[in-house]
């Protein structure tokens, strides 16, 4: 049995209704970049879009957004989060791993940290 099958089987046992696969499948249509830049291109795009999220939030913190503009600004941040999600999906696709498996692994990692009371610590392997 292949690793991807085993991972998806495990993910379906943990969270059977995870819908990220449908998003990843649909988002793949728009992954138009040179084959030789697979992995690198979406990794760089992910960082760029995360920067766009941070910049919009920074401007809110700086006081550039009037209270009556806040709902619109939240929508703009959400749109940038969508761009981040797209690059996550593209990078996961290039790595040959489904977003739903990544999401499940992340929840398991966070739960493990919570159980060990190290959720506020540092380091990838805590």
Query: Residue 43 and residue 84: Cα distance in Å, rounded?
Result: 10
Q: Token digits for 53?
A: 């999220």
Give the number of residues in contact with Mg ion, rule: CB under 5 A: 4
Q: Which of 21, 43, 52, 77 binds Mg ion (CB under 5 A)?
A: 52
In the bound complex, which residue of the shown chain has the CB atom lying closest to Mg ion?
83
Residues shown for the chain = 126
CB nearer Mg ion, residue 14 or residue 73: 73
Q: How far is the CB of 48 from Mg ion (least distance, A)?
A: 8
Considering beta carbons, is residue 56 or 104 the nearer one to Mg ion?
A: 56
Pick the closer one to Mg ion by CB: 82 or 112.
82
How far, in Å, are 64, 92, 105 from residue 118 at the CA level?
36, 27, 17
Map the footprint of Mg ion across residues 61-80, applying CB under 5 A. Answer: 80
Position 83 contacts Mg ion (CB under 5 A) = yes
Contact 18, 7 (CB under 8 A): no
Alpha-carbon Rg of the chain, whole angstroms? 17
Cα separation, 77 vs 83, whole angstroms: 10
Q: How far is the CB of 49 from Mg ion (least distance, A)?
A: 5
Site residues (vs Mg ion, CB under 5 A):
49, 52, 80, 83
């Amino acid at each position: 049995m292949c690793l991807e099958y085993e991972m998806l089987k495990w993910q379906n046992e943990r969270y059977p209704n995870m819908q990220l696969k449908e998003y990843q499948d649909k988002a793949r249509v728009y992954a138009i970049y040179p084959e030789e830049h697979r992995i690198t291109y979406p990794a760089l795009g992910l960082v760029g879009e995360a920067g766009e999220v941070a910049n919009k939030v920074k401007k809110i913190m700086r006081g550039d957004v009037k209270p009556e503009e806040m709902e619109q600004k939240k929508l703009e941040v959400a749109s940038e989060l969508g761009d981040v999600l797209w690059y996550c999906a593209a990078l996961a696709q290039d790595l040959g791993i489904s977003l739903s498996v990544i999401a499940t692994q992340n929840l398991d990692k966070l739960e493990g940290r919570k159980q060990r009371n190290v959720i506020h610590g540092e380091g990838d392997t805590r």
